[in-house]
């Protein structure tokens, strides 16, 4: 085994940057492999084009005749680009993407064949749902599920396959993927926000939610990563002593990108351009070998698809550059983990960003309305928001002494805090003309200026307002953004509906003018949501105590956090908003709890295996060398050998104590796991894994990492942190 590590190191040292040619301009490459509006105009009949656009913009159904025309044109386009297969591309609840390729090729008898792709194949397929997580939805006699075309996310070509983004549902209609509830949530927020917009602008017909994600990741030399069973099987290191140099010097962040990584990025970006993923920013992150990539924001459904697709492509491109890309939230102890900030906003079909201040007092009142309603939505649903970012891997980040914390709070900056303070003083009921003028001129009217010099850059808040959007920072780097985007858009939709009811009531029953009514309701919201606003540095004991006083939840682990998903309130919320039925909410809870248990279980098994079968034998081997040495010294020095071999003897003893520590803890971990496996109740079982099995990881690791410092480097089997993190 020890030789494998050195072979790998030797091989990794010969790696050179893989040559990448960028011949075409990015703007020319952009969307070349996408069946987008431009391509559709070329390939579709006018009827078919109008049909698809109506589906995209207004959710209108596409009839079979149009589907036939679209599929036929899609096929022609794909064949012209050398495509041989098609697939329904979807995002099951496994967290990765799924595809099953079928050839266009079909025989027609007499030894002849044609390329075929009909409307029915475009619109629907029937994969077996029983092999995907379904949380008990599938009953045994009806295992089928079906995928259905989502025309709002354009088909694309990857390699020689035409990929058609689809939803994935059980035969009984329940969602089995991330996209279905997301589309429903986007529809809910569209309706609710459009209604509220009508107070300010009657022309608004549609509101879309936008998402700009920022993907953090690590790039590790492929051969080195392959020597580590923990990285291979769990995506993170379960042990390994920290490197003498880590990120202390802060010399990686925004530093010049190492050449091998840069060439990987260039090829990745070319792939992204072809697929219409508008990547724009790339830079080194804080930790060694950690990087970030961000696109220009897009409509949320498309952005979610693009992030899932990107993660898939990154793995493939990385491999060509002899890298393994790690999306895990905490692949290495002691240095920064990775997240995926979700920048979120709402915008109208008239081109207005509802979370950006405008030029007139009225448009600023509209901004304030959406701004304050979002805060209110987060305040009312902070626990659910925490739940939607919970996973075994993200637990290492949230609340584990790394920003952001497990407590959800909202950061808005000093200037906007002041604006809210002023609004809080608005008179109850009708406003005097003077007060109205004052509000328009000096409070609402000043918002754009206020935001211009909004220099507050809080970096630790889990949910921060950043000038023209909210940034949900607690999302994990490994997550499918569909989950947080579903929850965020649903809670905002619900909040906007409640808001409209309250405003309408004041207008109808109290005879208030529209803007008076809006001011009145907003004032009450400002008063009632103070607990969620927090400007400070979000981690540490002090904030935990303060947050508890404020009544904010602090669910540190996934099993605790996920409970909020099946609370009466959450189930009712999802039902009311037509986003998920009770069965769907419960199924998702089950699936995520099961996934949590399985992740910890796998990690526990891998750790037990490495500790016992790799570390202990190595320690014994080294101990034997020491024993031989002591024996030799005894031969030479006879009676005085104890003095000359004192250090060796101490080392022998120390090694024994660590071996004992490992064995005792691995045995205890195995027994605890066995006991946990007999628990029927999923929550109880997950809690047992969380609070009984997982803590033993630390004890085992401590002994292994100590041994790493004691044992001869030459025989140490596991590639060390310094090698993994500093190989460029």
Provide the binding-site residues for ligand ADP, judged by CB under 6 A: 210-212, 214, 294-297, 343-345, 353, 466, 468-469
State the nearest-atom distance from the C-beta of 294 to Mg ion, in Å: 8
- Do 449 and 458 form a contact (C-beta atoms < 8 A)? no
Q: Assess contact for 597 and 686: CB atoms under 8 A.
A: yes
Q: Which does 345 bind (CB under 5 to 8 A by kind): Mg ion, ligand ADP, none?
A: ligand ADP
**SS3 at position 257:** coil
Q: Which does 427 bind (CB under 5 to 8 A by kind): ligand ADP, Mg ion, none?
A: none
* Residue 469 partner contact from Mg ion, ligand ADP, none using kind-dependent CB cut-offs of 5 to 8 Å: ligand ADP
429 forms bridges with which residues in the sheet? none
- Closest approach, Cβ 343 to ligand ADP, in A, equals 3
Q: Which does 588 bind (CB under 5 to 8 A by kind): ligand ADP, Mg ion, none?
A: none
CB of 327 to ligand ADP, least distance (A): 17
Least CB distance to Mg ion at residue 353 (A): 17
Among 88, 228, 321, 341, binds Mg ion (CB under 5 A): 341
Q: Which two tokens stand for residue 191?
A: 């309706």
Burial (CB count <10 Å: 0-12, 13-18, 19+), residue 69: buried
Which of Mg ion, ligand ADP, none has residue 210 at its interface (CB below 5 to 8 Å by kind)? ligand ADP
Cβ atoms within 10 Å, residue 134:
20
Least distance between ligand ADP and beta carbon 281 (Å): 7
Least separation, in Å, of the C-beta of 214 and Mg ion?
Answer: 5
DSSP track, 186-199: HHHHHHHHHHHHTT
Rounded to an integer, what distance in angstroms lies between the CA atom of residue 144 and that of residue 134? 11
Which residues are bridge partners to 274 per DSSP?
none
Shortest distance, CB of residue 213 to ligand ADP, whole angstroms? 7
Query: Nearer to Mg ion by C-beta: 345 or 672?
Result: 345
Which residue number, 354 or 587, has a Cβ lying nearer to ligand ADP? 354
- Residues near 554 by beta carbon (within 8 Å), at least 6 away in sequence: 399, 405, 406, 407, 544, 547, 548
* Alpha carbons 645 and 277: distance in angstroms, whole number: 65
Q: Smaller CB distance to Mg ion: residue 340 or 599?
A: 340
Residue of 409, 415, 418, 421 lying closest to 464 (CA atoms): 409
Q: Three-state DSSP class for 642?
A: helix
Smaller CB distance to Mg ion: residue 97 or 343? Answer: 343
The distance of closest approach from Cβ of residue 259 to ligand ADP in the complex, given in angstroms and rounded to an integer, is 24
Using CB distances below 5 to 8 A depending on partner kind, what does residue 294 bind out of ligand ADP, Mg ion, none? Answer: ligand ADP
| Stretch of 124-132, 295-303, 336-344, 521-529 contacting Mg ion, by CB under 5 A | 336-344
Smaller CB separation from ligand ADP, 297 or 574: 297
We find the least distance from the C-beta atom of residue 472 to Mg ion, in angstroms, to be 10
Residue 345's DSSP bridge partners are: 210
Q: Give the interface size with Mg ion as a residue count (CB under 5 A).
A: 1
336 or 466: CB nearest ligand ADP? 466
Q: Which does 409 bind (CB under 5 to 8 A by kind): ligand ADP, Mg ion, none?
A: none
Residue 390 has a CB neighbour count (10 Å cut-off) of: 27
For residue 220, give the nearest of 271, 286, 288 by alpha carbon: 288
Tell me the C-alpha distance between 486 and 179, whole Å: 9
**Mind giving me the DSSP string for 588-607?**
HHHHHHHHHHHHHHHHHHHH
Please identify, using beta-carbon distances, which residue of 260 and 341 lies nearer to ligand ADP: 341
| Residue closer to Mg ion, measured from CB, 127 or 404 | 404
Q: How far is the CB of 471 from Mg ion (least distance, A)?
A: 5
- Cβ-based nearer residue to ligand ADP, 97 or 342: 342
**Least separation in angstroms between CB 470 and Mg ion:** 11
CB 425 to Mg ion: min, Å: 33
- Describe the chain by its helix, strand, coil percentages, rounded to 5: 55, 15, 30
Sole window of 2-10, 32-40, 307-315, 334-342 interacting with Mg ion (rule: CB under 5 A): 334-342
Question: Which residue of the chain is nearest ligand ADP when measured via CB?
Answer: 212
| C-alpha distances out from residue 305 to 86, 217, 276, Å | 17, 18, 11
Q: Which stretch binds Mg ion (CB under 5 A): 53-61, 175-183, 333-341, 413-421?
A: 333-341
Only one of the segments 61-69, 225-233, 340-348, 701-709 lies at the binding site for Mg ion (rule: CB under 5 A); that segment is 340-348
Q: Is the CB of 475 or the CB of 659 nearer to Mg ion?
A: 475
Residue sitting closest to Mg ion (CB): 341
- How far apart CA 139 and CA 159 sit, in angstroms, is 36
Could you give the CA distance from residue 683 to residue 680 in angstroms, rounded to a whole number?
Answer: 9
Containing 314, the helix (H) or strand (E) segment is: helix 300-320
Angle between helix 582-610 and helix 646-677 axes, rounded to 10 deg: 150
The CB-of-475 to Mg ion minimum distance in angstroms stands at 11
Are 20 and 31 spatial neighbours (Cβ–Cβ below 8 Å)? no
Per-residue DSSP letter, 166: E
Residue 296 near which of Mg ion, ligand ADP, none (CB within 5-8 Å, type-dependent):
ligand ADP
Provide, rounded to whole angstroms, the least separation between the CB of residue 188 and ligand ADP.
Answer: 18
- Considering the rule CB under 5 A, would residue 396 count as an interface residue with Mg ion? no
- Of 466 and 604, the one with the shorter C-beta distance to ligand ADP is 466
- Pick what 180 binds: Mg ion, ligand ADP, none; C-beta below 5 to 8 Å, kind-dependent: none
297 contact choice in ligand ADP, Mg ion, none (CB below 5 to 8 Å, kind-dependent): ligand ADP
| Nearest CB to ligand ADP, comparing residues 149 and 344 | 344
Give the Cα separation of 340 and 405 in Å (integer): 14
Residue 468 or residue 581: which is nearer to ligand ADP going by CB? Answer: 468
Give the nearer residue to ligand ADP in terms of CB position, either 296 or 620.
296
Give the DSSP letter string of 74-138: HHHHHHHTT--EEEEEB-BTTSS-B---EESEEEEETTEEEE---HHHHHEE--BGGGS--TT-S
Q: Which two tokens stand for residue 476?
A: 């994990």
**Which parts of this chain interact with Mg ion (CB under 5 A)?**
341
């Amino acid at each position: 085994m020890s030789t494998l590590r050195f072979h790998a190191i030797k091989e990794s040292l010969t790696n050179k940057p893989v040559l990448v040619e960028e011949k075409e301009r990015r703007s020319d490459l952009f969307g070349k492999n996408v069946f987008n509006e431009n391509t559709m105009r070329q390939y579709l009949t006018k009827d078919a084009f109008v049909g698809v656009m109506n589906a995209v913009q207004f959710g209108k159904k596409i009839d079979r005749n149009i589907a036939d025309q679209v599929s036929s044109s899609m096929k022609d386009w794909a064949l012209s680009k050398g495509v041989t297969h098609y697939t329904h591309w979807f995002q099951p609840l496994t967290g990765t993407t799924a595809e099953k390729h079928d050839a266009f090729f079909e025989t027609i008898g007499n030894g002849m064949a044609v390329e075929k792709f009909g409307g029915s194949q475009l619109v629907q397929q029937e994969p077996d749902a029983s092999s995907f997580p379904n949380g008990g939805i599938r009953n045994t006699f009806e295992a089928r599920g079906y995928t259905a075309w989502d025309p709002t996310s354009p088909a694309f070509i990857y390699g020689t396959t035409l990929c058609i983004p689809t939803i994935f549902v059980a035969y009984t209609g329940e969602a089995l993927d991330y996209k279905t509830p997301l589309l429903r949530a986007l529809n809910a927020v569209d309706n609710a926000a459009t209604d509220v917009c009508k107070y300010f602008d009657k022309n608004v017909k549609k509101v879309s939610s936008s998402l700009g994600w920022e993907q953090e990741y690590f790039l590790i030399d492929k051969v080195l990563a392959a020597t580590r069973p923990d990285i291979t099987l769990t995506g993170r290191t379960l042990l390994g002593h920290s490197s003498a140099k880590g990120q202390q010097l802060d010399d990686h962040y925004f530093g010049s990108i190492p050449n091998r990584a840069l060439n990987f990025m260039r090829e990745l970006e070319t792939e992204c351009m072809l697929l219409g993923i508008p990547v724009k920013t790339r830079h080194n992150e804080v930790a060694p070998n950690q990087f970030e990539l961000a696109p220009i924001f897009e409509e949320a459904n498309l952005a979610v698809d693009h992030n899932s697709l990107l993660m898939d492509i990154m793995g493939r491109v990385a491999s060509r550059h002899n890298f393994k890309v790690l999306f895990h939230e905490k692949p290495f102890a002691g240095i920064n983990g990775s997240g995926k900030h979700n920048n979120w906003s709402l915008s109208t079909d008239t081109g207005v960003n509802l979370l950006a201040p405008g030029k007139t007092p009225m448009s600023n009142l509209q901004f304030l309305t959406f701004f304050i309603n979002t805060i209110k939505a987060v305040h009312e649903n902070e626990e659910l928001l925490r739940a939607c970012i919970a996973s075994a891997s993200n637990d290492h980040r949230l609340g584990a002494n790394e920003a952001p914390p497990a407590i959800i709070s909202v950061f808005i900056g000093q200037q906007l805090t002041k604006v809210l303070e002023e609004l809080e003083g608005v008179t109850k009921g009708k406003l005097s003309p003077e007060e109205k003028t004052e509000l328009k001129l000096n409070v609402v009217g000043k918002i754009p200026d206020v935001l211009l010099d909004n220099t507050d850059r809080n970096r630790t808040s889990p949910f921060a307002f950043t000038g023209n959007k909210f940034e949900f920072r607690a999302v994990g780097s490994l997550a499918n953004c569909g989950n947080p985007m579903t929850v965020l858009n649903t809670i905002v939709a619900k909040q906007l509906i409640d808001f409209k009811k309250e405003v309408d009531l004041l207008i109808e029953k109290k005879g208030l003018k529209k803007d008076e009514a809006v001011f009145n309701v907003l004032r009450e919201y400002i008063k009632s949501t103070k607990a969620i606003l927090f400007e400070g540095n979000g981690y540490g004991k002090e904030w935990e105590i303060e947050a508890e006083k404020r009544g904010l939840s602090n669910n540190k682990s996934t099993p605790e956090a996920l409970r909020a998903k099946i609370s009466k309130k959450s189930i009712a919320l999802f039902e009311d908003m037509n986003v998920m039925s009770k069965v769907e909410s419960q199924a998702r809870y089950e699936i995520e709890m099961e996934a949590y248990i399985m992740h910890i279980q796998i990690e526990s098994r891998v750790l037990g295996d490495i500790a016992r079968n790799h570390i202990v034998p190595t320690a014994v081997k080294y101990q034997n060398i020491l024993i031989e040495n002591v024996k030799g010294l005894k031969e030479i020095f006879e009676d005085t050998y104890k003095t000359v071999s004192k250090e060796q003897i101490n080392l022998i003893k120390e090694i024994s104590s660590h071996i004992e520590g490992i064995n005792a803890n691995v045995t205890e971990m195995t027994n605890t796991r066995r006991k946990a496996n007999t628990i029927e109740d999923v929550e109880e079982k997950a809690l047992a894994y969380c609070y009984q099995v997982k803590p033993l990881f630390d004890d085992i690791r401590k002994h292994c990492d100590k041994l790493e410092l004691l044992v001869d480097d030459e025989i140490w089997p596991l590639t060390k942190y310094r090698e993994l993190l500093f190989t460029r």
